[in-house]
Amino acid sequence: MDLWVTEYQTPSLGFSCKITETLRNEQTRFQHLAVVETLQFGKMLLLDGMVMTTDKDEFVYHEMITQIALNSHPNPEKVLIIGGGDGGALREVVNHPAVKKGTLVEIDDRVITASRDFFPALSCAFDHAKAEVIVEDGIEFVKNQTAEFDIILVDSTEPVGPAVELFSAPFYKSAAAALKDDGMLVVQSESPFFNQDVIQMAFKGVQQAFPITKLYLASVPTYPSGLWSFTVGSKQYDPEKIMTRGSSCKYYNDEVHQAAFKLPDFVADIIGEGK
């Protein structure tokens, strides 16, 4: 008998992967956590039944949530990641030559443990000399920071449970206060096909806190619809302008950096920037 894992990306759309083994299946304090071995994508981490990351396509998302800001800021020395408990974004951050310190604030330590147990290519970052890992609610953590960071990345689950407030205008305002006066914020803002409301909420919320707000896209095969968005708020620098060179990447490069901001009309319309 075949075994499959299915993420219901919408109530009427399932994304299924054939699996050979369930490696972890637990209810943490915050969410249901599973790790499965899939034939197509290798190991897969799911939270509350949603695909978070896989061996085979993690590089796309982790490079694109980090490298755009890391290479648009002239001196990204101090970077904060909210969420990101799998460690993939932290790996990109601490490997960037300009970064002096990458701080990860993840609310659920069981995600960090699962990554250490099953995703060595991601969790290697936790022990990096430039890395600091804190288990705490990122919303509370940010409220207690003032002009501390050059870049803040919100690598959170979708707006459910502990992540709801991470998509709110008050959070974006507190993130702006936690950034230096030339800082940048990047938030993962879900799918232009299935989550137009989340994109609008994130984009408008970031716009209220930053003078420059832009949306960019990447293709992530295991995320709902395969097309994913990121919203960037910047206090001073244009995120479309490349100012430093990142580490060598598999998906991200100068041309991808520029192309990511070229939006199809249906996406521009979502954020009210259509022709």
Residues that bind ligand SAM (CB under 6 A): 30, 47, 52, 61, 82-86, 105-108, 111, 137-139, 155-157, 162-163, 166, 188
Give the dihedral sign, CA 233/205/140/177.
Answer: positive
Q: Kindly name the residue from 137, 155, 265, 269 that is annotated as catalytic.
A: 155
Nearer to ligand SAM by C-beta: 52 or 93? 52
Torsion of Cα atoms, 225 then 92 then 82 then 137, to 10°: 120
Closer CB to ligand SAM, residue 9 or residue 188?
Answer: 188
Rg of the chain on CA atoms, in Å:
17
One-letter identity of residue 142: V
What is the residue-wise DSSP string for 140-206? HHHHT-SS-EEEEEEE--SSSGGGGGGGSHHHHHHHHHHEEEEEEEEEE---TTT-HHHHHHHHHHH
Crossing angle of the two packed helices 196-209 and 169-178, in degrees rounded to 10 = 40
In sequence order, the 6+-apart residues with CB closer than 8 A to the CB of 160 are: 48
Nearest distance from residue 64's CB to ligand SAM, in Å?
Answer: 10
Query: Closest CB to ligand SAM among 55 and 236?
Result: 55
Closest CB to ligand SAM among 105 and 131? 105
Calculate the dihedral angle through the C-alpha atoms of 72, 272, 172, 261, rounding to the nearest 10 degrees. Answer: -20
CB of 180 to ligand SAM, least distance (A): 21
Question: Least distance from C-beta 163 to ligand SAM, angstroms?
Answer: 4
* Chain residue whose CB lies nearest ligand SAM: 83
Min. distance of Cβ 272 from ligand SAM in angstroms? 23
Residue 155 annotated to the active site: yes
Residue 209: CA atoms inside 13 Å, Cβ hemisphere, count? 27
33 or 271, CB closer to ligand SAM? 33
Distance in Å, CB of 108 to ligand SAM, minimum = 4
Catalytic sites, residue numbers = 155
